[in-house]
Structure 1
Amino acid sequence: MSAIYLETLINAGIQRVFDSARDIELHQKSTSKTHEKAIAGRTSGLIEENETVTWRAKHLGIYQNLMTKIISMEKPYQFTVVMLKGAFQSMHHQHLFKETEGKTLMIDIFEFESPLGIIGKLFNTVFLTHYLRTFLLERNEPIKVAAESSGAEK
């Protein structure tokens, strides 16, 4: 299984960052490059524990659907997303939030496994891990901007 670990320090309160990270509209805005859209399940507002959302997006030139579910949530400290249906063999994404000196440290632990055995592992090593790291970094920037925006509650 491949894994990506990211830390993003955000100058905003933990509840604001937590809510920004689970906001469906902000997710769609932050992934506009891949035309990501919520098409089933929770399609607006803040996703909650045990809810699903099906995303449709264009990755690697192909439109794909990914059905995910929030399997655990401890507000405002963590939520975990797993893939129910999609292109991966498996996908597990932990979102962790820690208060630190008046700011919030947002941590992503994204674990995934591609299908096709050794060919999938090679694809992960050569290409997919870098692609997904870049995607997550680009996704986190609008969360940071939204949470830090003027008038935001700390």
Structure 2
Amino acid sequence: MPHFEVTTSIAAPPRRVFDVSLDVDVHTASMADAGERAVDGVTSGGLVLGDTVTWQARHFGVLWRMTCRISAFEPPARFVDDQVDGPFRHWRHEHRFAPDGRGGTVVRDVVDFAAPLRPFGTIAELAVLNRYLPRLIRDRNRHVKAVAEAPA
């Protein structure tokens, strides 16, 4: 099963970064290029343990829907979102937040996923998804960083 990690340094305290990362509106703004929006479940504001949100976005010219549930919630250290319905055979995204010792936060995104439709899914993972998905997380984190570091 494919696995990747993305590490991002943010000059804001862990609790601030944790809260910003769980904000549906921030997520929507970070994925504006794909037209991503929340269409069911929690559609604005912050997410907490047990919440679900259904995202709709256009990737590769195709309209996708993915419903995720917040399955672990340990403020301000980590939360996990798992796909409960959507395009992947498996999707688990763990968000970890650690103090950097200078008042900021080191964010570590740990993602395990599997494309559907074996063996074609394996080809998609190797040809496209293993590069595309980390880039998507890095793009999202640039937006989270900008929001978290902005003066309150």
Alignment coverage as a number of residue pairs:
151
Distance between the aligned counterparts of 1:86 and 1:59, measured in 2?
A: 13
Question: Which amino acid counterpart does residue 122 of structure 1 have in structure 2?
Answer: I
SS in 1 for 2:91: strand
Q: After TM superposition, what 4+ stretches of structure 1 lie above 4 angstroms from structure 2?
A: none
Please show how residues 132-147 of structure 1 align to structure 2 within 5 Å. 132-147=133-148
Distance between the aligned counterparts of 2:140 and 2:129, measured in 1?
A: 16
SS in 1 for 2:140: helix
CA RMSD of aligned residues (A): 0.8
Q: CA deviation at 1:3?
A: 1.1
Question: Which amino acid counterpart does residue 76 of structure 1 have in structure 2?
Answer: P
Partner of 1:92: 92
Distance between the aligned counterparts of 2:99 and 2:50, measured in 1?
A: 25
The percent identity for this pair of structures is: 32
Can you give the 5+ residue segments of structure 1 that lack an aligned partner in the other structure? none
SS in 2 for 1:117: coil
Partner of 1:10: 10
Partner of 1:117: 118
TM-score, with structure 2 as normaliser: 0.97
Can you give the 5+ residue segments of structure 2 that lack an aligned partner in the other structure? none
Distance between the aligned counterparts of 1:144 and 1:3, measured in 2?
A: 23
Question: Which amino acid counterpart does residue 84 of structure 1 have in structure 2?
Answer: V
Distance between the aligned counterparts of 2:117 and 2:78, measured in 1?
A: 31
TM-score, with structure 1 as normaliser: 0.96
Distance between the aligned counterparts of 2:127 and 2:151, measured in 1?
A: 41
Question: Which amino acid counterpart does residue 140 of structure 2 have in structure 1?
Answer: R
Deviation string 1:62-110 (CA, Å, 9 cap, x unpaired) is 1111000000100110000000110100100000000111210011001
